[in-house]
Structure 1
Amino acid sequence: MARGVEMDPIVIVGSGLAGYAVAREFRKKNPSDPLIVVTADDGQFYSKPALSEALRLGTPDAELASRNAQAMQLQIKGEIWCATRAERIDAEAKILFTSAGALHYSRLVLALGAEPVQLPLDPISLGHIHSANDLASYRRFRAALHGKRSVTVLGAGLVGCEFANDLARAGYQVNVMDIAPLPLSRLLPPENGAFLRQGLERIGVEWRLGSGVIAIEREGPGLSVQGAAGDVFHTDVVLSAIGLRPRTSLLRDTAIRTGHGIQVDMHLRTNDCDVFALGDCAEVEGMWLPYIAPIGPAAKVIASNLNGGSARVRYPAMPVVVKTPDCPTVICPPPPGLEGQWCTESGDLGVQSLYRDVGGAVHGFALNGNCVGRAPELRESLPMLLG
């Protein structure tokens, strides 16, 4: 795009929930300034969290997207550059270089999301593994399930557990494999993790915990999976859900600071005052929050600041509802680095764990089973996460 006499546009890189949320909020405050969304995919709007429950709910994959790119252009009153890769940023000249050409911007919003962590396996093994990190990869996974009976999920984290519940309820034989001893080991205390494991066992989920995968080979119509402990088992389809990594490579040759993610302050600005970031790619005041709840407040703050404001993001305690209806689970992790310990009460029908600091104050909770109803009350008693 050649630089013209009109003002350069606001450019948003990414058409996921975070990118489109900023575009919508910006348009509420500013109906006329030029706006361009650059996306490597087809620009459809869909709910990524809905992917891990679509089978159980019987949602055809053709119905997962609620709007196509043309409809989104009308909604945001701007352009959407589909199938366009963001390749490089010249922050000093305020140019985004893309596969469709150079794009001058007035301000830049990075909603790059996160990418699946890849297992350190040989290329043949990797070729047998599916992911479901976006609509296109999810549709390929759904196509691979056609006519199959068994699925192995690599990773017993948040997404892995949700897919395990979804697939088991859809009638598949499900194995979940993880090097950790319990599901959701990074978020749940051991008693809560054990309760979740037992809850999904009741619907047929089999756990292969404490062992990673070292190779996957074709075996007749299916696959042979070899574990690090020497175990070998057969499966039809393999889905990787071992974790996500913020996308930061676009900033590799810039002075914009990155840590685990793109580092932003409470205005959601990077150290370049004309570049903002939010969502799974952003690290806000040292916190990486790859969940849905922070996106709405963040989008409002960025939209205000794109229009000359000085808004600061404020995050209340934000519980994460795990989509495992056969073992209801809600987690509100404590702030990272806070000294304290989990205090757990267990029963046959549920588990409640409260994270208490050294003075006894509660800063987080983990609830399973019939204890999840306490989440709203507990949330209201927690201090602000940020702000």
Structure 2
Amino acid sequence: MHPIVIIGSGMAGYAIAREFRKLNAEQELVMICADDAANYAKPTLSNAYTGKKAPEQIALGDAAKMSAQLNMTILNHTWVKSIESATHQLHLEHVDQTATVQTYSKLVLAVGANPIRLAIAGDGSDDIHVVNNLNDYKAFRSQLDSSAEKRVVILGAGLIGCEFANDLQNTGHQVTVIDLAPLPLGRLLPAHVAQTFKENLEATGIHFVLGTTVEKISKNEHGHYFVTLANGQALQADAVLSAIGLLPNTDLAKATNIHTSRGVLTNAGLETNQADIYAMGDCVEVNGILLPYVMPIMQQARALAKTLNGENTAVHYPAMPVAVKTPAAPLTVLPAPIDVEVTWNTEETEDGMLAKASDAEGTLRGFVLLGATAGKQRLALAKQVPDLIPISV
């Protein structure tokens, strides 16, 4: 029997390998990835400074260790150039530019998402950092650690931008966050909660410049950057980090005639429209739902492992709150479904607030918990929210 092949060595790729190995120790597994296949948890990157973790301490295992641990062949620094779904073959290109063909019995696309990059003028725009993997983070940390004044400009006041802002401000950096939106986390929080969240972060020294965007980034001979904003304001920085969001990586799927929308489209069994090809992780859109968070990946891995082992299993999405790593303003969010009209009701707590989103029938569909006191209600509230995907394959 041909091997099961996993494309991608991120959290999703390793999660499915691990869950499958719990069920089947013998079936041949092959992982293919463009990077070095180091195993690490990407969410730890946005609070590594506070956790006193140097970049070289973040990886839990290199390719050799993971290959032995999971009894899996790992082809790192290898690119999948094309998929022939009819013949179940992958055309590969290796780091030495040799070409090979890999046959699969089942194929899992765990190809993740890529950072959105803005087109910004200026001779400093090529130096804008994105942190989407450990190598990105090493480059960002290297520049920060070599700068004397440690002034950082972050583009994007979303979840990742705010987490990095809190981590950097907490460790002696001067942080300015820029976003076109009027408030941070505007897509996740109702305005009154977002305002309080912003004020709590500002109290630590984080500076927000909102309602505008970056027009130009220039640099001088000393390695300092000048950030010019659309509102006419100018900032100085020693490093610039872009955290304006991710786009699911759908290029390989599209080239294989796999249906895509915002992400790679699958049914509740994580099956694409091509036989024996599945998708999971940040790249997947399951029955129209795109959830680029840790808990959905774990739910997907458990279900897909059973399917790959011969027991067709639908992924189950219970209510899965997201903990935002901003200790200055402890925050837990369960976003309400985007297609459901909700009404917000807010209660003040001694150190924050609890905001509940209810639908027309009064059913709880989402919530926001700001502050440590409110956060204690996370599990009880999550049990009241209907499952997102309770359906069978």
User: TM-score with structure 2 length normalisation?
Assistant: 0.94
> Which residue does 1:276 correspond to in 2?
278
Tell me by how many angstroms 1:287 deviates. Answer: 0.5
Q: Which amino acid aligns with 1:48?
A: K
Whole-angstrom CA distance in 2 between matches of 1:51 and 1:62: 12
> Which residue does 2:204 correspond to in 1?
203
Q: Per the alignment, in what secondary structure is the counterpart of residue 85 of structure 1?
A: strand
On the 8 A contact 1:151/1:173 being kept in 2, the answer is: yes
> Which residue does 1:162 correspond to in 2?
163
Tell me by how many angstroms 1:55 deviates. Answer: 0.4
Query: 2:2 matched to 1:8?
Result: yes
Counterpart among 32, 44, 48 of residue 38 in structure 1: 32
Whole-angstrom CA distance in 2 between matches of 1:178 and 1:247: 24
On the 8 A contact 1:160/1:176 being kept in 2, the answer is: yes
Q: Which amino acid aligns with 1:186?
A: R
Tell me by how many angstroms 1:346 deviates. Answer: 4.0
Tell me by how many angstroms 1:186 deviates. Answer: 0.5
Tell me by how many angstroms 1:104 deviates. Answer: 1.1
> Which residue does 1:117 correspond to in 2?
116
Q: Per the alignment, in what secondary structure is the counterpart of residue 313 of structure 2?
A: coil
Moved over 6 A (4+): none
On the 8 A contact 1:191/1:344 being kept in 2, the answer is: no
Whole-angstrom CA distance in 2 between matches of 1:182 and 1:348: 23
Tell me by how many angstroms 1:348 deviates. Answer: 6.5
Query: 2:347 matched to 1:380?
Result: no
Whole-angstrom CA distance in 1 between matches of 2:249 and 2:125: 20
Q: Pairwise CA RMSD of aligned residues?
A: 1.3
Query: 2:300 matched to 1:298?
Result: yes
| Superposition pairs of residues 176-195 of structure 1, within 5 angstroms | 176-195=177-196
| Superposition pairs of residues 74-223 of structure 1, within 5 angstroms | 74-100=68-94, 101-122=100-121, 124-148=123-147, 149-221=150-222, 222-223=224-225
Whole-angstrom CA distance in 2 between matches of 1:157 and 1:35: 37
Q: Which amino acid aligns with 2:342?
A: G
CA gap 1:123/1:113 in 2 versus in 1, 3 angstroms: farther
Whole-angstrom CA distance in 2 between matches of 1:244 and 1:123: 23
Tell me by how many angstroms 1:356 deviates. Answer: 0.8
Tell me by how many angstroms 1:123 deviates. Answer: 7.2
| Superposition pairs of residues 220-239 of structure 1, within 5 angstroms | 220-221=221-222, 222-239=224-241
> Which residue does 1:3 correspond to in 2?
none
Tell me by how many angstroms 1:226 deviates. Answer: 0.7
Counterpart among 359, 366, 371 of residue 374 in structure 2: 371
> Which residue does 1:327 correspond to in 2?
329
User: TM-score with structure 1 length normalisation?
Assistant: 0.96
Is there any run of 5+ residues in structure 1 with no aligned partner, and where?
Answer: 1-6
Q: Per the alignment, in what secondary structure is the counterpart of residue 294 of structure 2?
A: coil
Tell me by how many angstroms 1:167 deviates. Answer: 0.1
Whole-angstrom CA distance in 1 between matches of 2:182 and 2:122: 27
Is there any run of 5+ residues in structure 2 with no aligned partner, and where?
Answer: 95-99
Tell me by how many angstroms 1:232 deviates. Answer: 0.9
| Superposition pairs of residues 331-350 of structure 1, within 5 angstroms | 331-346=333-348, 349-350=351-352
Cα deviation digits, residues 292-323 of structure 1 (max 9, x gap): 00111211111111111111111110000000
Whole-angstrom CA distance in 1 between matches of 2:259 and 2:123: 36
- Could you tell which deviates more after superposition, 123-132 or 222-231? 123-132
Cα deviation digits, residues 220-273 of structure 1 (max 9, x gap): 421000111111111110001000000010122222101100001111111123
Cα deviation digits, residues 68-94 of structure 1 (max 9, x gap): 100100111010001011221111111
On the 8 A contact 2:158/2:186 being kept in 1, the answer is: yes
Tell me by how many angstroms 1:124 deviates. Answer: 3.4
Percent of paired sites with the same residue: 41
> Which residue does 1:68 correspond to in 2?
62
Whole-angstrom CA distance in 2 between matches of 1:102 and 1:59: 39
Whole-angstrom CA distance in 2 between matches of 1:266 and 1:326: 38
Tell me by how many angstroms 1:183 deviates. Answer: 0.5
> Which residue does 2:97 correspond to in 1?
none
Whole-angstrom CA distance in 2 between matches of 1:303 and 1:314: 13
Whole-angstrom CA distance in 1 between matches of 2:245 and 2:20: 31
Counterpart among 20, 27, 34 of residue 21 in structure 2: 27
On the 8 A contact 2:349/2:374 being kept in 1, the answer is: no
Cα deviation digits, residues 199-225 of structure 1 (max 9, x gap): 111111000111111110003421000
Whole-angstrom CA distance in 1 between matches of 2:124 and 2:101: 38
Q: Which amino acid aligns with 1:86?
A: V
- Could you tell which deviates more after superposition, 277-286 or 298-307? 298-307
Q: Which amino acid aligns with 1:69?
A: A
On the 8 A contact 2:124/2:225 being kept in 1, the answer is: no
Whole-angstrom CA distance in 1 between matches of 2:127 and 2:350: 40
Cα deviation digits, residues 44-78 of structure 1 (max 9, x gap): 10110000110011111110001110010011101
On the 8 A contact 2:125/2:218 being kept in 1, the answer is: no
Whole-angstrom CA distance in 1 between matches of 2:209 and 2:314: 44
